[in-house]
Structure 1
Amino acid sequence: MKKIIYTFLAFGTLVSCSNQNQSDELSTRQYVDVAGLDPNTKPGDNFFNHVNGLWHDTTRIADDQSGVGSYRFLNIPQKMLLQDILEELSSGEFSKGSNEQLIGDFYASGMDISRINQLGFEPIKPHLEKIEKIENVSGLMSFVASELKASVYSIISLGIYPDQANSKINIAHFGQTGLGLPDRDYYFKTDSSSVAIQQAYQKYVQTLFELVGYENAPSQAKTVYEIQKQLAASHKTRIERRDVQANYNKLSLTSIEERQPNIGWTSLFNTLGLAADSIDMRQPAYYDQLNVMLKSVALEDWKTYLRADILVSNASVLSEDFEKAEFEYTKVLSGQSKQKSRAERMVQMVDWRLGYALGQVYVNRHFNEEAKKRALELVNNLQKAFEIRIDQLDWMSDSTKLKAKEKLYAITKKIGYPDVWREYKGIEIDKSKFFENVVELRKEQFRFELAKLNQAPNKEEWRTTPSTVTAYYNPPVNEIVFPAGILQYPYFDLHADDAINYGGIGMVIGHELTHAFDDQGAQYDKDGNVKNWWTEEDYKRFRERTQKMIDLYSTFKVLDTVAIKGALTVGENTADNGGIAIAYDAFKMTAQGQDTTRIDGFTPDQRFFLSVARIWRVKMRDEFLRNYVAVDSHSPAMWRVNGPLMNADAFYEAFDVKPEDKNYKSKSDRVVIW
């Protein structure tokens, strides 16, 4: 995976803008689900349940899904649009190298399950044979490097992106890696849920070994797990990794060669084609531990580890028995009882590997250009509202306010799709060679990333595909990005009133703008450098308020006993709170925001907050939710609604929230940062 410093806000979608049967539907669409409101739950007790509770209690999660609703799960129907495109293109004939040929033939190759099953694990044999020939640590690291060039990571993780001390140049960043479980903490937990995940993972590795005919598969799986556990002990926690400055360590090649001689950094650089005399080693303790273990762990055990890594990395592109083994493990994490369809999995793979080629076709067919214009208008309005909020802050000095506003207006806005599309030149995709296609695309991705080294960041580049329902802020280049996928109902609708759009996509826009000023983003200046632009006293006050946000969210419970990790989610929680506040202020600048005319029986302010709650209409399986809380930097959906609204004065006024209501907080206890 790419170790890139940016914050994602994942979302979902229902239908394409151009597929809404607009003539009849628009005249009858009711943007507030009046019938779905729970009259037995007071807004001040639990606004999420007031808006979404009846839906949540009656909605069933499909057997092949881990959740349902909006947020990331609305990518499910979005993928049906992509599947329709791919089904059509996979049966056509197009000029070689065209977007249509690449994505159509790649999809077709992955859908040819008969041929894939016939090959079994034959495609992976050459890789396993290379491992057998490893004779020493040097040979081991040479193999690791060769796999890295095909974007297959094992014990080395490499990313190319801006130097946080000099954002005008891209450098190499090496981070901790080497694990099979979702997080380092899973190796050390002893609760029944975590133990079940540990056992399922070891069983998964064991099954993979058995499928390729290795003897003593149970003991080999245990060997792999124990190596990973040793590596995990050196890993920083997810909370520790939020410390921007502690995770930046620029070191010379000479110094790391001396410090970690067993890794053989010079040889690794040469094999990778890495022309650099220094790197950012984000978590040095990991590479110190790896350096020791390369000698302390027997070579044969390392070879067993690498076999497992190769099999795990390729299980999804081998025959169905390998896919089944993978699913048996992942369903323990997700709670799914049924595997997603082959077509759905292939849509995801095409989007992952050729997402900008697919994105161009998607945008041409399904994106309404008017949505881009309207979204930009909202972004501009929210910037103005944010500026006013900065001016009104009682805890920030005028000098810091000036710097904050400079950064705010330096933010690059990307909406809909890239102005310059990524091209996949020289790629050979063959309908009859699925595994080879995957390898070719992995290699192309490595070449694409490596070409950025020592270059200025490409300001035209996107870090997500246009069809994806998501949004993000990227600190090193100070940009906000809103792909076409999110610019549709329920987040955005060209024909909706302002209350709905400002409560929906407006909240999302405000969220991303606030990321520029959350606990991490606030450490970057307007040019994307980690540089202090605060007065000492202002930053102290900011940290005090940030700690209050951590403390508040740490009290919120999920699944009765599991608490939100306030220190892990603080950036997203700060953005949620700021996003709603900024969006509301921008809404109040509109004609409807200054009016009192009711629609569907609700005031404009009430419709704004009802829209905020509606975009987080989500239901997750308990297994998925438990893992989500452990590893995700976002709070669960209920608390993305209830948490910020506890702190929003305007919400109290809109719904007449009283001290006796369960989620009421006195004005002095409400946490407000931006």
Structure 2
Amino acid sequence: MKWFAAAALGCTLLPFSTVAAQQGARVQDIDTSLSACDDFDNYANGQWRKQNPMPAIQTSWALRTVTQEETTAKLRGLLDEASSKKQAAGSTEQLVGDFYGACMDEAAVNAAGLKPLQATLARVDAIKDARGVQTTIVDLMKVGVRAPLDISSSQDAHAPLDTIAEISIRGLGLPDRDYYLRNEPRYKEIREKYTAHVEAMFKLAGYSEVQAKEATDAVLKIETKLAEARLSRVELREPKNTDHPMQFSELTKQYPGFDWAATYKALNIPQGKLNLSQPKLTTAFLTELKQTPVGEWKAYLRWMVLHADAAYLPTTFVDENFRFFGTVMTGVKEQRPRWQRCSRLVDSQLGEALGKKYVEVYFSPEAKARAREMAVNIAEQLKLSITNNDWMTQATKAKALEKVAALNIKVGYPDKWKDYSSVKVTRGDFLSDVMSTQSFEIRDDLGRIGKPLDRGRWDMTPPTMNAYYNPQMNEVVVPAGYLQPPGFNPKGIDAINYGAIGVTIGHEISHGVDDEGAQFAADGSLTMWWTPEDFEKFKTKTACTTQQYDNYFIEPGIHHNGKLVTGEALGDLGGVNLALRAYEKSREGKGPEATVDGLTPEQQFFLAEAQWRGALVRPEAARSQVQVDPHPLGKWRVLGPLSNMPEFEKAWGCKKGDPMVRAETCKVW
């Protein structure tokens, strides 16, 4: 089972003006016509939003989006340089330069049409029987098409030093099962438009009107059956719901109808212990293999190929894919420039090759040391909170402190870089390059099965503008891309660094003791280390946050699902509390920082949090996010935690009854 919580941003990119580093909070962004005690998100960001309306290519819009664009522009500079001259075969420069160059050659991609996919599509077309369906499903998985089977490596939840196989069933084109099953008008509308999109893609691939409709009917039939058996997003947040360890021999006996032995052999993975993430869904998949006609499976598999590779095909496919998944699903009006798409793609496909070049140029030892110091200080505050609280017994406190003491903090980039020497990339065949890098990642991942856990691996690339906590590894990871102005400046003042990036680090550290992380012990095992009485008290405290977010509406009739966002909301609440206390502790012996532009250090801290966290989101994207994303919308990541804090109330002179002062405050750490 794989679990990690990230501080999701949900931003797309565009060219924009450079974000200037400054010492204090960005007073020029504040809307002084508003009250800080009414809506602190609008107060802190209102003027910036007036001067910087959301561009057509954005799903969400925030100050950090601009910083994210700066990172993409830096990557483009590295890639332009690498692709502009002939590089030594197999070198990092050759890999990233030729991949980027092939991606940027839109004319060549258009001229090739579907030829690069012919071998894959021919494999689907050649299926004669149920056996052929199975072998093709496995062949597609080797090149990154989960249709719907996915086998990957996973840390053993009960023997955390071991790496085992994880078997999952995916295969949905829409983001979540509810899009297939619920009958409210907005879900029906999405299904209708998705049906039209699938038909359009089949037509672009050469199907007639009648053929496209028949194929689409088959696709929706299979996807709906899979959706019916899939756990809900809330159910998926409970670790025990996806914890089903067994031996390979048990898999073959309990889930017959698939040649598991041949599959393991084809993927070159050892037969041994594994985890089956969703047994009911696996049974539904096997039932469909048995009952659904081969012709319908062929249509589904062909769709899965087109869907998975749509972004790498000629412009007609790219545009149709964007029309539905960009405009319909998220409200974006225009597609990003190709250089942005290609830069991001190199980062996702060859992330540690490009990331190594990025940190050499843009990430200093000083930044790494300053960020690590902040993280250590924030973790110390969690220890103090555990030690001093009055609701946990000493037995549970000891286990909690053991977990925080074992926390591994990773900053910037991996100690050991990934070896891409087996990857083949050429300038002339973009889709083949994508398949080559995807196949490498799959081989690299499957190659870990049956081996001791490698704690040096990262789940994000160094230039990533994000961070995460992995409860099984008990680690916080903060990539270099996240550690830059205005959220972080190694030469900047503490109030801003702790208020922006410090809150993010605190958020991730808090995940170790949120409603999910609290179920994993210090060694990463899925173990109940609380006394039953203490865990009941803990659940009572988290219920306050669940109820709070259930009452945050994005529009009439649509609100956050408190149970879905509880973990991330607890991370936000814990993050800002821990970061503030760590900031105050860091000033001991130094004296308070100066008031800047009339703002006290505490006010600057809270402004930094709001200006880094706050974001506008398009209505279409917001509707999807509250359905599938465990993160609250940006607005509520400001208002939610800060309205629970007496320190915020004091810093801004708010009073009881103000919107930013909750009558019933929630607090855990």
**TM-score surpassing 0.5?**
yes
Q: Structure 2: how far apart are the matches of 1:257 and 1:187?
A: 30
Give the length in aligned residue pairs: 662
Matches within 5 A, 1:207-222: 207-215=200-208, 216-222=211-217
Alignment of 1:263 with 2:263, yes or no, is no
Alignment of 1:292 with 2:290, yes or no, is no
Partner SS for 1:481? strand
How far is the alpha carbon of 1:58 from its aligned partner? 4.6
CA 63–543 in structure 1, closer or farther in 2 if over 3 Å, else same: same
Q: Structure 2: how far apart are the matches of 1:71 and 1:567?
A: 27
State the partner residue of 1:554.
Answer: 550
Partner SS for 1:267? helix
Matches within 5 A, 1:265-284: 265-284=260-279
Partner SS for 2:610? helix
Contact 1:14–1:490 under 8 Å retained in 2: no
Alignment of 1:504 with 2:500, yes or no, is yes
CA 20–220 in structure 1, closer or farther in 2 if over 3 Å, else same: closer
Matches within 5 A, 1:99-178: 99-178=92-171
Alignment of 1:645 with 2:642, yes or no, is yes
> Which residue identity does 1:526 align to in structure 2?
A
Partner SS for 1:109? helix
> Which residue identity does 1:257 align to in structure 2?
T
Q: Structure 1: how far apart are the matches of 2:192 and 2:18?
A: 46
Partner SS for 1:589? helix
Q: Structure 1: how far apart are the matches of 2:63 and 2:406?
A: 31
State the partner residue of 2:596.
Answer: 599
Deviation readout 1:192-212 (Å, 9 max, x if unpaired): 433332222222221221122
CA 351–596 in structure 1, closer or farther in 2 if over 3 Å, else same: closer
Q: Structure 2: how far apart are the matches of 1:104 and 1:433?
A: 13
State the partner residue of 2:530.
Answer: 534
How far is the alpha carbon of 1:495 from its aligned partner? 2.5
Partner SS for 1:413? strand
> Which residue identity does 2:616 align to in structure 1?
K
Using the size of structure 1 for normalisation, the TM-score is 0.95
CA 400–544 in structure 1, closer or farther in 2 if over 3 Å, else same: same
How far is the alpha carbon of 1:55 from its aligned partner? 2.8
**Residue number among 3, 6, 12 corresponding to 1:5 in the alignment:** 3
State the partner residue of 2:30.
Answer: 37
State the partner residue of 1:206.
Answer: 199
Moved more, 313-322 or 463-472: 313-322
CA 426–153 in structure 1, closer or farther in 2 if over 3 Å, else same: same
Contact 2:162–2:452 under 8 Å retained in 1: yes
Contact 1:71–1:617 under 8 Å retained in 2: no
Q: Structure 2: how far apart are the matches of 1:65 and 1:551?
A: 31
> Which residue identity does 1:5 align to in structure 2?
W
How far is the alpha carbon of 1:560 from its aligned partner? 4.0
How far is the alpha carbon of 1:254 from its aligned partner? 2.6
Q: Structure 2: how far apart are the matches of 1:333 and 1:102?
A: 34
How far is the alpha carbon of 1:670 from its aligned partner? 0.8
Deviation readout 1:145-195 (Å, 9 max, x if unpaired): 111122221111222121101100011111231110011111123334333
> Which residue identity does 1:190 align to in structure 2?
N
RMSD: 2.0
Deviation readout 1:215-246 (Å, 9 max, x if unpaired): 32123212211210111000001100111112
Deviation readout 1:466-513 (Å, 9 max, x if unpaired): 001111111111111111101111221122211111111111111111
Matches within 5 A, 1:477-488: 477-488=473-484
Matches within 5 A, 1:281-320: 281-320=276-315
State the partner residue of 1:544.
Answer: 540
Partner SS for 2:233? coil
Structure 1: unaligned runs, 5 residues or longer: none
How far is the alpha carbon of 1:62 from its aligned partner? 1.7
How far is the alpha carbon of 1:37 from its aligned partner? 2.0
Matches within 5 A, 1:224-239: 224-239=219-234
State the partner residue of 1:661.
Answer: 658
How far is the alpha carbon of 1:539 from its aligned partner? 0.9
Contact 2:11–2:58 under 8 Å retained in 1: no
Deviation readout 1:377-397 (Å, 9 max, x if unpaired): 111111222211111111111
Contact 1:142–1:271 under 8 Å retained in 2: no
State the partner residue of 1:359.
Answer: 355
Q: Structure 2: how far apart are the matches of 1:341 and 1:647?
A: 41
CA 13–598 in structure 1, closer or farther in 2 if over 3 Å, else same: farther
CA 196–594 in structure 1, closer or farther in 2 if over 3 Å, else same: farther
Alignment of 1:323 with 2:321, yes or no, is no
Q: Structure 1: how far apart are the matches of 2:6 and 2:64?
A: 12
State the partner residue of 1:188.
Answer: 181
CA 261–607 in structure 1, closer or farther in 2 if over 3 Å, else same: same
Moved more, 190-199 or 274-283: 190-199
Contact 2:72–2:340 under 8 Å retained in 1: yes
Partner SS for 1:573? helix
> Which residue identity does 2:304 align to in structure 1?
D
Contact 1:553–1:565 under 8 Å retained in 2: yes
Contact 1:417–1:466 under 8 Å retained in 2: yes
Q: Structure 2: how far apart are the matches of 1:627 and 1:127?
A: 32
Contact 1:9–1:470 under 8 Å retained in 2: yes
Partner SS for 1:415? strand
CA 527–377 in structure 1, closer or farther in 2 if over 3 Å, else same: same
> Which residue identity does 1:648 align to in structure 2?
M
Partner SS for 2:350? helix
Q: Structure 1: how far apart are the matches of 2:18 and 2:46?
A: 26
State the partner residue of 1:573.
Answer: 569
Q: Structure 2: how far apart are the matches of 1:104 and 1:481?
A: 27
Deviation readout 1:374-427 (Å, 9 max, x if unpaired): 111111111222211111111111221121111111111111111111110122
Using the size of structure 2 for normalisation, the TM-score is 0.95
Structure 2: unaligned runs, 5 residues or longer: none
Alignment of 1:249 with 2:247, yes or no, is no
Q: Structure 2: how far apart are the matches of 1:98 and 1:35?
A: 46
Q: Structure 2: how far apart are the matches of 1:149 and 1:131?
A: 14
Q: Structure 2: how far apart are the matches of 1:144 and 1:73?
A: 41
Contact 2:151–2:166 under 8 Å retained in 1: yes
State the partner residue of 2:463.
Answer: 467
Partner SS for 1:529? coil
Q: Structure 2: how far apart are the matches of 1:648 and 1:276?
A: 52
Moved more, 147-156 or 459-468: 147-156
How far is the alpha carbon of 1:270 from its aligned partner? 2.1
How far is the alpha carbon of 1:11 from its aligned partner? 4.5
Moved more, 464-473 or 561-570: 561-570
Partner SS for 2:513? coil
> Which residue identity does 1:446 align to in structure 2?
I
State the partner residue of 1:375.
Answer: 371
State the partner residue of 2:397.
Answer: 401
Deviation readout 1:116-161 (Å, 9 max, x if unpaired): 1111111112222211221221210111011112222111122212
State the partner residue of 1:615.
Answer: 612
CA 420–514 in structure 1, closer or farther in 2 if over 3 Å, else same: same
How far is the alpha carbon of 1:72 from its aligned partner? 6.0
> Which residue identity does 2:561 align to in structure 1?
K
State the partner residue of 1:494.
Answer: 490
Q: Structure 2: how far apart are the matches of 1:222 and 1:613?
A: 47
Contact 1:588–1:594 under 8 Å retained in 2: no
How far is the alpha carbon of 1:247 from its aligned partner? 1.1
Matches within 5 A, 1:18-97: 29=22, 31-71=24-64, 74-97=67-90
Contact 2:269–2:447 under 8 Å retained in 1: no
